């Protein structure tokens, strides 16, 4: 079974208390905490939010800061990036999050293969400190622009063979990054086949997804849209996820957050 939720608390709510209550009332099951400008939450607050989510049957995920670049050349930037990833994982642990995601880095005009090796090594160092039992799954996210590290195949190579790691597949990003591909049942099956090949069948039982409408140009992602205003074929994608019995969490990043999250859940439930 897939759970559906919003990227950040729902529109019109101002606190995790109200947000989680609204999610429950709308029949949604998940919430991603958006630490995109830094992890600014005390451990005691993270614990409270975790407890609240547990009481309401809401599964939590976390999104790390935008400033992360595990391929940064300057030592200060690299150290800050490592700190951001670690803080996101730690906050996720305290609140009992299921999975944490972030954009791993940039090519900085370097050879993609070399960048992959660097990012993999740095993530494995982070996991040596922050992995292990009781820790959330760590799942770097597929990115929406070809200039940003994070194609599906790159990320699968990064996390392959690693305990407690997976990939966060953002279907809108896959679609935008490839300038219009990844938008059919067949292409969705291809994505799942790739995941199984790299990570094994079991990976499909704890997936982390993002979905939203998206506007894109020749360079990839421009911005998110509501599903109704976008060409993303979410219905076909969800059909395949249902047919393949994929489990985990799908987070909606459309501007209308909870409305599209409900639309995704309803569509999924119909298959
Ligand atoms: Zn993201």
pLDDT at 60: 98
Spatial CA neighbour of 101 closest among 137, 154, 155: 137
- Token representation of residue 80: 């800050």
- How far is 20 from 26, CA to CA, in rounded Å? 10
H-helix or E-strand containing 194?
helix 185-199
Instruction: Name 41's Cβ contacts closer than 8 Å, sequence gap at least 6.
Output: 33, 35, 49, 91
Q: What is the pLDDT of residues 11-27, one digit of tens each?
A: 999 999 999 999 999 99
pLDDT at 138: 98
The Å distance, Cα 52 to ligand 1 centre, comes to 24
Position 132 confidence tier, pLDDT thresholds 50, 70, 90: confident
The Å distance, Cα 222 to ligand 1 centre, comes to 13
The Å distance, Cα 176 to ligand 1 centre, comes to 13
- How far is 92 from 31, CA to CA, in rounded Å? 12
The Å distance, Cα 160 to ligand 1 centre, comes to 20
Average pLDDT, the chain: 97
The Å distance, Cα 266 to ligand 1 centre, comes to 24
pLDDT at 131: 85
Q: What is the pLDDT of residues 56-84, one digit of tens each?
A: 999 999 999 999 999 999 999 999 999 99
Q: Which residue is it, tokens 């998940």?
A: 30
**Mind listing the domains of the chain with CATH numbers?**
2-270 (3.20.20.150)
What residues pack around ion ligand 1 (CB closer than 5 A)? 141
Question: With contact defined as beta carbons under 8 Å apart, do 135 and 90 qualify?
Answer: no
Q: Count how many residues are written for the chain.
A: 271
Q: Which string of DSSP letters, residue by residue, matches 38-80? A: -----HHHHHHHHHHHHHTT-EEEEE--TT--TT-SSHHHHHH
Per DSSP, helices labelled H in 133-170 are: 152-159
- Token representation of residue 140: 């770097």
pTM beyond 0.85: the answer is yes
The Å distance, Cα 99 to ligand 1 centre, comes to 13
| Percentage above 70 pLDDT, the chain | 100
The Å distance, Cα 141 to ligand 1 centre, comes to 6
C-alpha distances (whole Å) from 55 to each of 21, 141, 173, 183, 202 are 10, 28, 33, 36, 28
Spatial CA neighbour of 85 closest among 74, 70, 72, 98: 70
Q: What is the pLDDT of residues 157-171, one digit of tens each?
A: 999 999 999 999 999
Residue 133 predicted with pLDDT over 90: no
Question: With contact defined as beta carbons under 8 Å apart, do 193 and 234 qualify?
Answer: no
- Token representation of residue 217: 């140009």
- Interval 92-115 mean pLDDT: 97
The Å distance, Cα 103 to ligand 1 centre, comes to 6
Q: What is the pLDDT of residues 190-240, one digit of tens each?
A: 999 999 999 999 999 999 999 999 999 999 999 999 999 999 999 999 999
Spatial CA neighbour of 1 closest among 197, 250, 198, 263: 250
β 248-252/168-170 pair status = unpaired
Residue 134 predicted with pLDDT over 90: no
C-alpha distances (whole Å) from 203 to each of 34, 46, 163, 193, 263 are 24, 27, 11, 11, 25
- How far is 54 from 51, CA to CA, in rounded Å? 5
């Amino acid at each position: 079974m897939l759970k559906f939720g919003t990227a950040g608390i729902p529109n019109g709510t101002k606190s995790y208390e109200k947000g989680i209550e609204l999610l429950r009332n709308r029949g949604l099951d998940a919430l991603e905490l958006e630490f995109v400008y830094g992890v600014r939450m005390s451990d005691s607050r993270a614990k409270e939010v975790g407890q609240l989510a547990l009481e309401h049957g809401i599964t939590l995920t976390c999104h790390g800061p935008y400033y992360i670049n595990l391929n940064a050349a300057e030592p200060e930037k690299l150290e800050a990036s490592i700190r951001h990833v670690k803080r996101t994982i730690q906050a996720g642990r305290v609140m009992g999050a299921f999975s944490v995601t972030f954009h791993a880095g940039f090519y900085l005009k370097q050879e993609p293969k070399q960048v992959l090796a660097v990012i993999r090594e740095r993530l494995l160092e982070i996991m040596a400190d922050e992995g292990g039992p009781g820790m959330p799954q760590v799942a770097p996210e597929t990115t929406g622009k070809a200039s940003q590290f994070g194609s599906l195949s790159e990320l699968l190579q990064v996390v392959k063979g690693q305990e407690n790691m997976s990939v966060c597949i953002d279907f809108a990003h896959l679609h935008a990054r490839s300038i219009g591909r990844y938008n059919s049942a067949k292409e969705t099956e291809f994505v799942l086949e790739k995941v199984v090949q790299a990570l094994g069948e079991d990976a499909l039982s704890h997936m982390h997804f993002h979905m939203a409408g998206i506007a894109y140009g020749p360079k990839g992602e421009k911005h998110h849209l509501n599903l109704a205003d976008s060409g993303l074929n979410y219905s076909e994608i969800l059909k395949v996820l249902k047919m393949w019995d994929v489990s985990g969490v799908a987070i909606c990043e459309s501007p209308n957050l909870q409305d599209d999250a409900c639309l995704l859940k309803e569509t999924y439930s119909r298959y």
